[in-house]
Homo-oligomer: A and B are copies of this chain.
Amino acid sequence: MSGYSTNMRIKLPLFCLLLEFITIILFAVFVRYDKETDAKEWHDEMRNHSVGNLDNDFYFRYPSFQDVHVMIFIGFGFLMTFLKRYGFSSVAFNFLIAAFALQWSTLIQGFFHGFHNGKIHVGIESMINADFCTGAVLISFGALLGKTSPVQLIIMTLIEVTLFGINEYIILNIVGAKDAGGSMTIHTFGAYFGLVVSRVLYRPDLEKSRQREGSVYHSDLFAMIGTIYLWMFWPSFNSAVTAHGDDQHRTVMNTYYSLAACTLATFAISALVNGEGKLDMVHIQNAALAGGVAVGTSAEMMLTPFGAMIAGTLAGMISTLGYKYLTPVLDSKLKIQDTCGVHNLHGMPGVLGAIIGAIVAFFATMDIYGEGMEDVFPLIQDGSRTAKTQSLYQFLALLVALGFAVIGGIFVGFLLKIPLFGMPSDAECFEDAIYWEVPGEEGHHQLTAVNSEDPDTQA
């Protein structure tokens, strides 16, 4: 791929400001405070329903929101800084597209989920859902990391957020599937969407940039900041929008056990598949997180702690094996260049998570859930579905997510080929210097200094 001009002087300001302007107009027309954020409505609510300020949902969702927020901006952002010469772009483009995605998804999700009397009402739950949608975009970004311009990323965000909203609406409201932690709506959709875009944008001469596609010692430590934050706060992610009470509590605990087991499995398989018994930071940074993805659908269900640990162990194994054996094949045989290995961290574990969700739903009984059935499976509770049909609908939802990912990814892939959006050439990938004023760097400048001396020295 020969690349188009990566000079961002006009196009980046143009798209950023234009989209921000359109967003502000749409917000002015459609977006209003919900009854928990509006001064007048909340005080009316308190008077009319004998509730107090401390009953505001803010106190019961905001800590979860902040954990999710940290995952989106620090977790995803730093996880991608592992590349030796792409740290600025990783953390800052992550920042840019997340900042746009959360505004845009407030509108899109609002049209589907919070539209009353012609207005979108926003509060802490819409903020969490906007961050969730942002997560899907950042997963897709992971597949494309280092090979796209920021304008391409913004265009992708615009379309992907829109498709995410439709897909999510179909899965949750029409299919009636459960997916609180987004194994299907976020991970499966985000990963396969990004992989398909990457396939369409296949770069036959990417070898020319391979020397920059690895890490250096400190960049791997920066990436571990992202990993550990994602790992620690994943329980908050999966539980952030589940029903209050036992549901949030249980979701947190299941995710915590799944991740702990996943970590041991990842270390085990990483050492096993390496010829010399050494561990690989790529596996630890990524596969240890697959346990969170794998219980994204089922963590709110009565999965049981040991069930969560089995899910996590499987996810860690599959994911590590994927990094070792599948990623190279995807690249060489299927022409899918997956920079961060999102297929191993989000794709396969997302599908696994959907399947586990369907299995656990299959075994739902009133004996196990009691009156809690209403929160987890309202359609089983009200008699409109049996556990078996719910299970089938869970599988159907997976197919919907995959379908949206593939078709949407093809569309966006071809859209991004429009030269106007800019794109680095195959020899310029994974390089901050094409987008950034890069400061002198000890090691880097040194390298130059030392190299430039070589002739003198040898002369």
Contact = CB atoms under 8 A, between A and B. Distances in A.
B446 A442 contact: yes
B95 A288 contact: yes
Given A9-B277, A73-B228, A42 B246 contact: yes
Contact of A37 (B249, B263, B441): B249
Given A66-B67, A309-B24, A277 B372 contact: no
Interface string A80-105: 01001001100110011001101100
Contacts of A42: 245-246, 249, 372
Nearest to A313: B20
Interface string A418-445: 0000000000000000011111111111
A125 to B, nearest CB: 11
Contact of A54 (B60, B88, B271): B60
A280 B12 CA distance: 13
A207 B232 CA distance: 37
B309 A103 contact: yes
A224 interface: yes
A280 B371 contact: no
A278 B103 contact: no
Interface in A302-333: 302, 304-306, 309-310, 313
Q: Count copies of this chain in the complex.
A: 3
Contacts of A173: none
Nearest to A269: B13
Contact of A442 (B9, B57, B370, B447): B447
A176 to B, nearest CB: 19
A127 B32 CA distance: 33
A91 B228 contact: yes
* Chain A binding surface SS class: helix
B95 A284 contact: yes
Contacts of A95: 228, 231, 263, 284, 288
Given A24-B306, A306-B28, A66 B453 contact: no
Interface residues of A, number: 150
Interface stretch (A215-223, A354-362, A403-411): A215-223
A58 interface: yes
Nearest to A280: B437
B306 A221 contact: no
A62 B62 CA distance: 12
A389 interface: no
Given A265-B17, A267-B16, A372-B43, A9 B276 contact: yes
Which among A56, A456, A458 has the greatest number of chain B C-beta atoms within 10 A?
A: A56
Contact of A228 (B74, B368, B449, B450): B74
B20 A279 contact: no
A141 to B, nearest CB: 15
11 contacts: A20-B309, A20-B313, A23-B309, A39-B302, A52-B245, A56-B245, A99-B264, A281-B436, A447-B449, A450-B453, A453-B454
Given A40-B369, A442-B447, 18 more contacts: A7-B276, A7-B277, A9-B271, A9-B272, A20-B309, A27-B306, A40-B371, A43-B370, A52-B245, A53-B243, A53-B244, A62-B63, A74-B229, A102-B256, A103-B261, A221-B222, A443-B446, A453-B457
